[in-house]
Amino acid sequence: MNNKFKIFKSNIIFTPTMETFKVYKNSYIVVEDGKVKGIYEELDKNLKRIPVFDYTDKLIIPSFVDLHFHAPQFPNRGLGLDSELIPWLEKYTFPEEGKYSDIKYAKKVYKNLIHELWKVGTTRVGLFNSIHKESTELLFDLFIESGLGAYIGKVNMNRNTPNYILEDTKTSIRETEEIILKYKDKSDIVKPIITPRFVPTCTSELLKGLGNLAIKYNIPVQSHLSENTNEIEWVKKLEPEFKDYASVYNEFNLFGQTRTIMAHCIYNTDEEIELMAKNKVYAAHCPSSNYNLSSGIMPVRKFLNANVPVGLGTDISGGHETSIQKVMVSAIQASKIKWLETNKKYNPITTSEAFYLGTKGGGSFFGKVGSFENGYDFDALVIDDSNLGYAENLTLEERIQRFIYIGDDRNIIERYVQGRKIEEPKF
């Protein structure tokens, strides 16, 4: 019995719904085989013989989920962010992504990347890699070794990119399938994901081939949608027979036919939002990146009102912050500006809503992740907020709000994935 069960005592805070925090003051959370069994003020006598991980007066929260992160852009954080999207891609991003044919370079970057994600409390992440098969496989192997969860995709591009990162269609599809076959059953939390970069860099032939793979192997999909107005005009010129950007993906089974994440979604039409809701396509909201690259502000409330599933993304390196905790703050701030821009039509999101988006909202893409409801994976952070100021007169909701705004990774003292304590990576 002791091998199956783990018990933690602390102040327990999570968001089963967006509307409010669920809090349990100095209570016990019981974990069985890595999944939450229940939360109790007192332990049943059958459980009292099991040792308790005692974090009294600290906070236990679900760990963070990042739905959109470009692994090979990690060294570029903070560079070129006075540019707009397309010039930034051409000057900074594509040259950096071209370096990942060098496996020694890739290994150095990816080890640092995983350490950073561990540090900031991100235990599940959606990752774009470069076009390179070998470095993509390296990224899989390192994540499996680390104990963190990820969806990892080899990026696919066969047009409108420099020659050094341009693929032919057959090679792109073949290598994507080889990665799927090698890794789809290798880990229960590190999985492949189909990754066309975006329509401007993928011909219809490539998109069709990738969609076929998604259906054939039931593999999820990630890409970009309506990040920038120039990008949208570009898509119209490249694919004039389609009524909108989303329709291109949808035509080729890349828009909710299997689970799908579309990053940014700033300028979606009402029809596109309706299709996202119908197909249960996730929107990855990346406010820090959208500010940095002058892209705009996603109307998050409009998507939530339409019942589109939404999570948060750092979008490294368009975004400069690796911490989803910091992105929560940016999301709240962005929603306030959008509220003013729309003559107060779309209400700003609350702290509990931002927390939900960065935990259960994005976590639901990975399964029962991001909450402490019964049957959910125990993916958790233990937070010591004692250095943030006096807490005697604060509610637990106020303490978590304060941590979100002024805390950082130094407040995170333990990290768990499926009930397993994840130590700092040694590589």
pLDDT higher than threshold 60 for residue 303: yes
pLDDT higher than threshold 70 for residue 88: yes
Using CA atoms, how far apart are residues 375 and 102, in angstroms rounded to an integer? 42
To the question of domain 64-363 being in CATH 3.90.550.10, the answer is: no
CB atoms within 10 A of CB 60: 25
Using CA atoms, how far apart are residues 118 and 423, in angstroms rounded to an integer? 9
pLDDT higher than threshold 50 for residue 423: yes
Using CA atoms, how far apart are residues 142 and 144, in angstroms rounded to an integer? 5
Q: What is the mean pLDDT of the chain?
A: 97
Using pLDDT thresholds of 50, 70 and 90, give the confidence band for residue 66.
very high
pLDDT higher than threshold 70 for residue 2: no
Of all helices (H) and strands (E), which one includes residue 167?
none
The model's pLDDT over 245-270, given as tens digits with 9 standing for 90+, comes to 999 999 999 999 999 999 999 999 99
3-state secondary structure of 169: helix
Using pLDDT thresholds of 50, 70 and 90, give the confidence band for residue 56.
very high
pLDDT higher than threshold 80 for residue 230: yes
Rg of the chain over Cα atoms, rounded to whole angstroms, equals 21
Using pLDDT thresholds of 50, 70 and 90, give the confidence band for residue 427.
confident
Partners of 192 in beta bridges: 152
- Lowest model confidence (mean pLDDT) among 33-42, 79-88, 238-247: 79-88
User: What is the predicted pLDDT for the residue at 49?
Assistant: 86
User: What is the predicted pLDDT for the residue at 1?
Assistant: 41
Residue 261 near residue 365 (C-beta atoms within 8 A): yes
pLDDT higher than threshold 80 for residue 274: yes
Of all helices (H) and strands (E), which one includes residue 381?
strand 380-383
Q: What is the CATH number of domain 2-62+371-421?
A: 2.30.40.10
pLDDT higher than threshold 50 for residue 276: yes
User: What is the predicted pLDDT for the residue at 3?
Assistant: 64
- Supply 374's token pair: 């019964």
pLDDT higher than threshold 90 for residue 391: no
The model's pLDDT over 283-302, given as tens digits with 9 standing for 90+, comes to 999 999 999 999 999 999 99
- Supply 49's token pair: 């013989």
* CATH 2.30.40.10 location in the chain: 2-62+371-421
Q: Residue 171 to residues 174, 221, 306, 311: CA-CA distances in angstroms?
A: 5, 19, 39, 32
* CATH 3.20.20.140 location in the chain: 64-363
Give mean pLDDT, residues 49-66.
Answer: 96
What percentage of the chain reaches a pLDDT higher than 70?
Answer: 99
Give mean pLDDT, residues 51-71.
Answer: 97
Residue 284 near residue 258 (C-beta atoms within 8 A): no
